[in-house]
Amino acid sequence: MSEYNGHVGEFLEKVMSHIKYRSIHKTIEDELLVHIEEQKAEYIKRGIDEKNAAVKAIEQMGDPDVVGKQLNKAHSPRTEWSILIITFVIVILGGAVQFFLSGEGIRNENLFFKYLFYAPIGILVFSCVYFFDYTLLGRHPKLVVCILLGAALVGFNVLERINGTFYHVYYISLLAIPVFGIVVYSLRGKGYLGIVASGAFYAAIAFLCIIGPRIYALGLFSLACIVIITVAILKGYFNCNKRVGIAIVYIPTILFVSLLTYYLIMSSPRRLIRILTIFVPEIDPNGGGWQHMMVRSLIKGSKSIGEAVLYGNLSNTQINQVLPSWDSNFALTYIIARLGYIAGLVIISVLSILIIRMFITILKQKNALGFLLSFSAFIAISGQFMLYILSNFGVVMTSVTLPFISYGGSTFVLNMMLLGLVMSVYRRSHIVDDKLQKGSVNNYKLVTIEDGRIIIDFGIRKLKRTHK
């Protein structure tokens, strides 16, 4: 057998020498060994002695150099050209928007030059993440979480509050969305305990958003985590009863929101009014809802092509004097009011195409880490996009930026990083061997009664049986 093992080892070594992507070597070796053993067993059934059967099985595999080259070609990283092309178009479009806004006011004349500075940085970050092996994140989830939380704490001690807020918390919350996906991946198969542990990470980031305070960041992060954990449960990642898993997530969430609402009503009615004006600006049209009302007025007075028509007290007012943050948080509203709906729809359409293409590539993922990571990054980007659109059309009032388009060097670089992560996952989607768990344990019960005893099962026993 030692001679047989030597022949097998030599064959595998020659094959692996042609495969450049080393992370897939172990998987390919295991598959080749299975084929060799199956072929060997077949020869033995035909009456050939074990030694000759082993030799013939190896010969049957073919020339190791040819096999290696074919496998290298089949397992080479691939490129999603449509997303790369759309990304290039969006970068150009973002530059065009900043160029237009630079000429709209004296204080904004440097917007385009600033864009020329941070856009190459964003492209460089995108490229680095694109070629980065994302599986390293899945192998070291604790390190990733520690780095994220460490960066947040350093920011609290080094940076200063601006208008009473730590701005870095918003960026931390966006990065925390794909990190939450990594956390969920690291806890897969661990039953209800895995769901609870995922909630602990959410609570840590939510606490940072509260002490920030960055309420909009908390809202976006919370919605993203709810979506991610729900999808993970429905896909059976935690290997537990899906209905119980969903209940563990949603019942505490509903109770917390209800208690928070009650607290706001009882402790500070004025604070509650400020929150309600996010959705119903008419409650305080001259205070917290004023900006919201201005957005609605501009959208209502906009035309297909050309500048919006304003009425009443605003009839002789320039548009950039009507709306605060018209060059950043409400850049889309401003473009629609200045140039017309068609200009705004072009921007929305290009970004929508990018989001649709990203979603399609994510649906093709065949491994758990790749799916969770790219889906989380997708949620972070699309969440900003949807909230920005709703805000700029006067549906709700938020303080997020339009990914890749509105002004903000940090958010541009961060979103390029998130997009690069989606592309990095797709690039290796057919290479990484980490199959999705299929289904869930339908007869898995949280509480059972045996011999007069109440037994609470968090899924740990099931996990141990699976690994035996």
Residues 62 and 124 reside in one and the same domain: no
Mean pLDDT over the full length of the chain = 81
239: left (phi over 0), alpha (psi -120 to 50) or beta: left
Q: Which of 74, 104, 135 is the last residue of a domain?
A: 74
The H or E element containing residue 431 is: none
**Domain-embedded: residue 118:** yes
Q: Decide: 239 and 441 in contact? Cβ < 8 Å.
A: yes
Q: How confident is the model at residue 143 (pLDDT cuts 50, 70, 90)?
A: very high
Q: How confident is the model at residue 164 (pLDDT cuts 50, 70, 90)?
A: confident
Beta bridge partners of 449: 454
- Name the token pair of 70: 């074919």
Residues 48 and 129 reside in one and the same domain: no
Spell 250-284 as b/e; 16+ CB within 10 A means b.
eeeeeeeeeeeeeebeeeeeeebbbeebbeebeeb
Residues 174 and 291 reside in one and the same domain: yes
Question: Comparing 316 with 156, which gets the higher pLDDT?
Answer: 156
Mean pLDDT over residues 28-34, rounded? 75
Question: Comparing 271 with 165, which gets the higher pLDDT?
Answer: 165
Q: Kindly tell me if the per-residue pLDDT of 4 is higher than 70.
A: no
Residues 264 and 337 reside in one and the same domain: yes
Residues 39 and 63 reside in one and the same domain: yes
**Domain-embedded: residue 135:** yes
**Domain-embedded: residue 466:** no
Residues 347 and 244 reside in one and the same domain: yes
Residues 113 and 25 reside in one and the same domain: no
- Name the token pair of 380: 């972070």
253-271: pLDDT as tens digits: 899 878 877 776 666 666 6
- Name the token pair of 184: 């969920």
Q: Kindly tell me if the per-residue pLDDT of 455 is higher than 80.
A: no
Residues 267 and 413 reside in one and the same domain: yes
Write down the pLDDT at residue 77.
65
Range in 131-135, 174-178, 369-373 the model is least confident about: 131-135
Q: Decide: 378 and 358 in contact? Cβ < 8 Å.
A: yes
**Domain-embedded: residue 461:** no
Q: CA quadruple 463, 464, 467, 468: dihedral positive or negative?
A: negative
Question: Comparing 342 with 260, which gets the higher pLDDT?
Answer: 342
Write down the pLDDT at residue 442.
41
**Domain-embedded: residue 131:** yes
Proportion of the chain in helix, strand, coil states, percent, rounded to 5: 70, 5, 25
Q: Decide: 55 and 7 in contact? Cβ < 8 Å.
A: yes
**Domain-embedded: residue 259:** yes
Contacts of residue 375, Cβ cutoff 8 Å, sequence gap at least 6: 181, 228, 231, 362, 365
Q: Which of 409, 427, 445 is the last residue of a domain?
A: 427
Domain that holds residue 14: 2-74
Residues 24 and 57 reside in one and the same domain: yes
Q: Kindly tell me if the per-residue pLDDT of 461 is higher than 70.
A: no
Residues 66 and 85 reside in one and the same domain: no
Write down the pLDDT at residue 462.
45
Q: Kindly tell me if the per-residue pLDDT of 436 is higher than 50.
A: no
**Domain-embedded: residue 253:** yes
Write down the pLDDT at residue 381.
95
Q: Which of 58, 74, 90 is the last residue of a domain?
A: 74
Residues 257 and 403 reside in one and the same domain: yes
Residues 38 and 87 reside in one and the same domain: no
208-259: pLDDT as tens digits: 988 888 888 888 999 999 999 999 999 989 988 899 999 999 998 899 878 8
389-423: pLDDT as tens digits: 988 988 877 778 889 888 888 899 999 999 999 99
Q: How many domains does the chain have?
A: 2
Beta bridge partners of 454: 449
Beta bridge partners of 162: 165
**Domain-embedded: residue 450:** no
**Distance between CA atoms of residues 3 and 237, nearest Å:** 43
107-134: pLDDT as tens digits: 677 888 889 899 999 999 999 999 888 8
Mean pLDDT over residues 54-67, rounded? 76
